[in-house]
């Protein structure tokens, strides 16, 4: 099992919640994102402790291969870790954006697309986010709404609360709103088309680059009645939240010990502690203490995983089935 050093990203819109939430020491300000587990080039995670401390995630995969990723994942992705795990703290509204699908991302950038999901860890009073179109629009109407600053009127705006889940397939227009604190699980891709940024300026008076035209072809204009992901909480049981070709994510809300049988799972398992604390122990007896804000990578060779809370603990698990 592996813990990694967080990669902290200061952002124009970032807040001050991530550092205390993760219980780490840092003078960095306006930390909008903590990249918990990343194989993105130039932002590779580094093992934080244990005999392989200092090893990057790609080096770890090169060393352990299918034993770490799973046989099918290793054949499919090679030494590229297929998921990017983040915490996001929005002090201001993030830009309205969209991500291309695999086909378009490869044609334009020789990269994978970006399907993702959000789990709301915490939310200030009045916190919100936007996901999907509220009504049918044409590409021309979309472009005109950006030009005249009315794009927000076309999107579905949700008040959010801890435990809310949103699945965001590539092509869905979205924006994280002020006051949202979110765990994000996504494909390994850093391609974002920024559609609208509320005409904000940085400390030097500059606006950020927009990709309004690039986004036009990437957007899925389908309108749905509800863009939230609904699930039924089941304390001390594994509750599946999202299952797609890119990841399967479940929630463990524990007040008592729970064992997961991983013997038939041909995949790594990512365990993201979003609340509380406890201990993780695998079938070989290796144990790792974990608390809120920490993420653990469990190798595919693990056949059983025991989760023991210290009172209570909430864990998001993610793998590729």
- DSSP for residue 208: P
In this prediction, residue 246 has a pLDDT band, given cuts at 50, 70 and 90, of very high
Q: How many CB atoms lie within 10 A of CB 144?
A: 13
**Based on the number of CB atoms within 10 Å of its own CB, is 153 exposed (0-12), middle (13-18) or buried (19 or more)?**
exposed
Average pLDDT over residues 110-139: 95
The yes-or-no verdict on residue 210 having pLDDT over 90 is no
| pLDDT value of position 209 | 84
| pLDDT value of position 204 | 79
The yes-or-no verdict on residue 257 having pLDDT over 90 is yes
Average pLDDT over residues 169-175: 96
**Based on the number of CB atoms within 10 Å of its own CB, is 175 exposed (0-12), middle (13-18) or buried (19 or more)?**
buried
The yes-or-no verdict on residue 152 having pLDDT over 90 is yes
Partners of residue 282 on adjacent β-strands = 305
| pLDDT value of position 237 | 95
d(C-alpha 89, C-alpha 91), whole Å: 6
Report pLDDT digits (tens) over 275-300: 999 999 999 999 999 999 999 999 99
Average pLDDT over residues 25-37: 95
| pLDDT value of position 190 | 81
pTM of the model: 0.94
First-to-final CA distance of the chain? 19
Which residue would you say has higher pLDDT here, 203 or 312? Answer: 312
Long-range contacts at 105-114 (CB < 8 A, ≥ 24 apart): 105/170, 105/189, 105/191, 108/214, 109/191, 111/189, 111/191, 112/187, 112/188, 112/189, 113/170, 113/187, 113/189, 113/191, 114/170, 114/186, 114/187, 114/189, 114/191, 114/192
The yes-or-no verdict on residue 201 having pLDDT over 80 is no
Is the C-alpha dihedral spanning 170, 174, 177, 180 positive or negative? negative
Partners of residue 168 on adjacent β-strands = 116
Percent of the chain residues topping a pLDDT of 90: 89
| pLDDT value of position 86 | 97
As a whole number, the mean pLDDT across the chain is 95
| pLDDT value of position 47 | 97
Average pLDDT over residues 99-122: 94
Catalytic residue among 71, 76, 172, 194: 194
| pLDDT value of position 68 | 97
| pLDDT value of position 12 | 86
Q: Are 275 and 260 in contact (CB under 8 A)?
A: no
Q: Are 317 and 273 in contact (CB under 8 A)?
A: no
Q: Are 218 and 99 in contact (CB under 8 A)?
A: yes
Catalytic annotation present for 130: no
Rounded CA Rg of the chain: 19
Q: How many CB atoms lie within 10 A of CB 99?
A: 26
The yes-or-no verdict on residue 206 having pLDDT over 90 is no
Report pLDDT digits (tens) over 1-13: 999 999 999 998 8
């Amino acid at each position: 099992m592996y813990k990694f050093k967080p990669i902290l990203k200061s952002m124009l819109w970032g807040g001050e919640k991530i550092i205390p939430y993760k219980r780490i020491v840092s003078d960095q300000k306006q930390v909008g994102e903590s990249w918990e587990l990343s194989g993105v080039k130039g932002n590779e995670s580094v093992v934080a402790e244990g005999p392989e401390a200092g090893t990057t995630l790609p080096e770890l995969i090169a060393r352990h291969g299918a034993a770490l990723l799973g046989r099918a994942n290793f054949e499919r992705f090679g030494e590229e870790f297929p998921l990017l795990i983040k915490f996001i703290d929005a002090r201001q509204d993030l830009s309205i954006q969209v991500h291309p699908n695999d086909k378009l991302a490869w044609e334009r950038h020789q990269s994978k697309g970006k399907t993702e999901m959000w789990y709301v860890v915490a939310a200030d009073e009045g916190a919100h986010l936007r996901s999907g179109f509220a009504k049918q629009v044409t590409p021309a109407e979309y472009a005109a709404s950006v030009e005249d600053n009315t794009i927000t009127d076309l999107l579905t705006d949700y008040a959010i609360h801890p435990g809310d889940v949103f699945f965001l397939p590539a092509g869905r227009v979205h924006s994280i709103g002020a006051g949202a604190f979110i765990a994000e699980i996504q494909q390994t891709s850093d391609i974002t088309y920024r559609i609208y940024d509320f005409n904000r300026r940085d400390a030097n008076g500059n606006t950020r680059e927009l990709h309004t035209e690039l986004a036009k072809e990437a957007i899925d204009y389908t309108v749905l009645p509800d863009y939230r992901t609904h699930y039924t909480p089941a304390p001390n049981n594994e509750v599946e939240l999202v299952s797609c070709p890119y990841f399967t994510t479940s929630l463990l809300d524990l007040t008592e010990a729970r064992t997961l049988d991983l013997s038939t799972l041909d995949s790594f398992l990512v365990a993201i502690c979003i609340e509380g604390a406890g201990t993780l122990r695998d079938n070989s007896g290796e144990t790792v203490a974990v608390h809120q804000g920490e993420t653990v990578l469990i190798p595919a060779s693990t056949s059983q995983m025991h989760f023991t809370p210290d009172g209570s603990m909430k864990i998001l698990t993610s793998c590729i089935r």
